[in-house]
Amino acid sequence: MATISDVAKQTGLSSATVSRVINNYPHVSEEKRRLVHEAMQELGYFPNTSARNLRNRKTNLVAVLIPRLTNPFFTTILDGIEKVAEEKGFQLLICQTQSSKKKELDFLTLLKTKQVDGVIFTSIENDWSKIEPYTESGPIILCNEYHRDATVPIVRLDQAYGSYLGTRHLIERGYKKIAFCHGSKSGLSNDRRKGFERAIAEAALPLNQEWVFHDTYTMEDGKKVLKKIINLKNRPTAIFTGGDEVASGVLKEAKRHGLKVPEELAILGFDDQPIASLIEPELTTIHQPGEEIGSRTMSVFIDCLNGVIERTQQSVIELPISLVKRKTT
Amino acid sequence: MATISDVAKQTGLSSATVSRVINNYPHVSEEKRRLVHEAMQELGYFPNTSARNLRNRKTNLVAVLIPRLTNPFFTTILDGIEKVAEEKGFQLLICQTQSSKKKELDFLTLLKTKQVDGVIFTSIENDWSKIEPYTESGPIILCNEYHRDATVPIVRLDQAYGSYLGTRHLIERGYKKIAFCHGSKSGLSNDRRKGFERAIAEAALPLNQEWVFHDTYTMEDGKKVLKKIINLKNRPTAIFTGGDEVASGVLKEAKRHGLKVPEELAILGFDDQPIASLIEPELTTIHQPGEEIGSRTMSVFIDCLNGVIERTQQSVIELPISLVKRKTT
DNA sequence: CCGTTTTTTGTAATCGATTACATGGAATCG
DNA sequence: CGATTCCATGTAATCGATTACAAAAAACGG
């Protein structure tokens, strides 16, 4: 492989001048500029990225932590991040955490070793106290996540408001016995529960603990939930699932049991994934602007790098969330 | 940031010895080893990746070219690639090509600039002659793609056999008027057409050009196809779509028009994506082992790096493809 | 035309690691 | 005990760029 000094030799110039040409610096005569370009062409020269990175102390690489690549909601976010990244000359490093605390921390050493300029979390597993020490090594942004004590920029949706909106909708439709599914008891899922509870409380409706289901994430979990519901003496008439996948599991199993949706059971999703409009009846759900939250996050990231935004103190950007009325409510 | 010479200074040793400790070389006394580890801890030292990459002439980075991150089939492949990569200590760089020839070529300069050790194509847009010059700079692997003249390892599925299998199935079920959708007229899509035509020819069935649809990729395209079918005097009784998304579009629109599936129109997908078992009736489709093809590809990639496999001549690994019978045929 | 400023180019240090080669000391062997 | 081998460590070159500083050449001003 040709190096910069090969080009220098070929042209009879110094590598400094060649470097100036490569980086489009002023104060290089047109003649030499042309000469250098010719030589580069001829030798098939490309600047070595590692050498540049070393010297420039940056890599134009961003680590994106994502729980699972096969989760459509996260790939939508990723897509949003990627579009801005590519536009601004950044590359993305995929870091699939599989929701493991250990992997999440492991990926953070990418920051310490200067392999990446910064990190974007699209979900977060560890306590903030574990993450915080890494903030000194480069920008960290939370995307679609919220931690009360986080000392970094946050781009998020008002989850609580989203579920409040959804629950209100159910109430307005006349449903009074409303079940609720949620994932973990922290973060997003917790916010959703709060919004749900607020709407329920405002309407002075009963909140039966039999109607609350934990650790629901997948379609399979949704099916299980419905099976439990079937066996209750006092069945709910509507269910707010934590996500579209769970919702579709509930729906599928409901149909299998001959339960009419929404007449006998209304179902409300969360996310507005493509499947929401594919299944039948089409799913009423809370729309999360996945791509937009991704692209905003990447913009914030770049602002941090450029010092436009303070990177070690909390700031929150909140994007609107909305209800998409379809056929299951 | 602490560097290796800070650690050397702190311990009173040379940076050579520190490097030996970092890289677990023999011939370092236990005492110094401990000393170095302590100093590293104390100084919060992490080796600088760019410096290492420069010196070692490798990055442990692989560029993965993928048309769209939001296409579930490709993210499944990506997931397979990622799992092996992480196991073997490689990181993945996301390169979303948006099916653009230009972007595809742009990403290849990552190889020239030594930013990545190699490239995996999960789809390919340019002619092989455009790609070939890059093979000298590092391993390139084709994943789920095939180019007759490609001079690199290929991991693929026998698409022609898959569609042959599917078409045979339709024929065995008694369908005689079979429509066919395909994307572009090159590559994968072309192979699928060949298998389809072979099965049709073997059964001596008619191949009506009115029943062949081009450039179908999305759900929307599927809907359009069905609208066209509706308006035909001589309607097909079955349709082999190029993919599950197209199939689900066809299905959805068929139901909207009151067409009974599969009684009045049988539908066969391709891919076996999660949606295939979500929609109703559940979709009969050709199963492509996405994750496996990804993981095999990454293994082949590593074999190339280690010189176990010749990287500049064609070799083909073919994975099995199978029919999943569900309810639409 | 001479002094000053600006443009063009080069020299050499630097980024932070790895490693070939050299060296001194300890262990081994006949 | 002297020759040989092995172990532990250091010195300095190297990977391939960028850039501070210096110097030569050109342009400018009066």
Over 70: is that where the pLDDT of B296 sits?
yes
Contacts 24+ apart (CB under 8 A), B57-60: B57/B114, B58/B117, B59/A49, B59/A50, B59/B114, B59/B115, B59/B116, B59/B117, B60/B89, B60/B90, B60/B91, B60/B117
The pLDDT score that the predictor gives to residue B306 is 93
Beta strands, E only, chain A? 61-66, 91-96, 118-121, 140-143, 153-157, 178-181, 212-213, 238-240, 266-268, 285-287, 315-319, 322-324
Collect all residues of chain A within an 8 Å Cβ-Cβ radius of residue B100.
Answer: none
Report helix, strand or coil for A325: coil
CA distance B194 to chain A (A): 30
What single-letter DSSP state applies at residue A326?
-
Q: How confident is the model over B100-126, as pLDDT tens digits? A: 999 999 999 999 999 999 999 999 999
Q: What is the DSSP letter of A307?
A: T
Nearest by CB to A275, which of B86, B113, B275? B275
Q: Show pLDDT as tens, one digit a residue, over chain A (329 residues).
A: 899 999 999 999 999 999 999 999 988 999 899 999 999 999 999 999 999 999 999 999 999 999 999 988 999 999 999 999 999 999 999 999 999 999 999 999 999 999 999 999 999 999 999 999 999 999 999 999 988 899 999 999 999 999 999 999 999 999 999 999 987 766 788 888 899 999 999 999 988 899 999 889 888 899 999 999 999 999 999 999 988 989 999 999 999 999 999 999 999 999 998 889 888 899 999 999 999 999 999 999 999 999 999 999 999 999 999 999 999 99
pLDDT value of position B186: 64
Q: Which residues of A touch B51 (CB under 8 A)?
A: 54
Q: Which residues contact A63 (CB under 8 A, 6 or more apart)?
A: A92, A93, A95, A107, A110, A111, A115, A116, A118, A119, A120
Q: Does A1 touch chain B (CB under 8 A)?
A: yes
Of B47, B59, B252, the CB nearest to A50: B59
Q: Which residue segments constitute the domains of chain B, with CATH numbers given? A: 4-47 (1.10.260.40), 59-158+290-319 (3.40.50.2300), 159-287 (3.40.50.2300)
pLDDT recorded at residue A185: 63
Helix (H) or strand (E) run with residue A124 in it: none
pLDDT band at B137 (very low <50, low <70, confident <90, very high): very high
Q: Which of B99, B278, B295 should one mutate to test binding to chain A, selecting the residue with the greatest count of A CBs within 10 A?
A: B278
CA of B207 to C1' of C8 (A): 73
pLDDT of residue B97 exceeding 90, the answer is yes
For position A186, what pLDDT does the model report? 64
How far apart (Å, rounded) are the C-alpha atoms in residues A205 and A210? 14
pLDDT band at B47 (very low <50, low <70, confident <90, very high): very high
Nearest CA to A237 out of A175, A191, A301 is that of A175
Q: Which pair of structure tokens corresponds to residue B197? A: 């035509």
- Which residues of chain B does A112 touch, with a Cβ-Cβ cutoff of 8 Å? 46
Which protein residues have their Cβ less than 7 angstroms from some atom of strand C?
A 12-17, 20, 26-29, 31-32, 51, 54-55, 57; B 1, 3-5, 15-16, 19-20, 22-23, 46-48, 51-52, 54-56
Say what the pLDDT of residue B1 is.
84
Beta strand A91-96 with B91-96: parallel, antiparallel or unpaired?
antiparallel
Q: Which residue of B has its CA nearest to A246?
A: B278
Per-residue confidence at B297, pLDDT binned at 50, 70, 90? very high
| pLDDT on residue B185 | 63
Which nucleotide is the nearest neighbour of B6, by CA and C1'? C16
Q: What is the pLDDT of residue B77?
A: 97
* A1 CA: nearest nucleotide by C1': D16
* Helix, strand, coil tally for chain B in percent (to 5): 45, 15, 40
Minimal-distance CA residue of chain A relative to B246: A278
| Mean pLDDT of all residues belonging to chain B | 94
Q: CB neighbours of A194 closer than 8 A, spacing ≥ 6?
A: A160, A163
Q: What is the mean pLDDT of chain A?
A: 93
CB contact under 8 A, A78 and B94: yes
Lowest mean pLDDT among A75-84, A269-278, B2-11, B79-88: A269-278
Contact B280 A278 (CB under 8 A): no
| B155 has a pLDDT exceeding 80 | yes
Determine whether the interchain pair B91/A93 forms a contact, defined as Cβ–Cβ distance below 8 Å: yes
Q: CA-based Rg of chain B, rounded to a whole angstrom?
A: 26
CB of A58 less than 8 A from some CB of B? no
Shortest Cα distance from B202 to chain A (angstroms)? 36
Taking CA–CA distances from B79, the nearest residue in chain A reads A69
pLDDT, position A206: 83
What is the torsion angle, in degrees rounded to the nearest 10, for the CA atoms of residue A11, residue A15, residue A18 and residue A19?
170
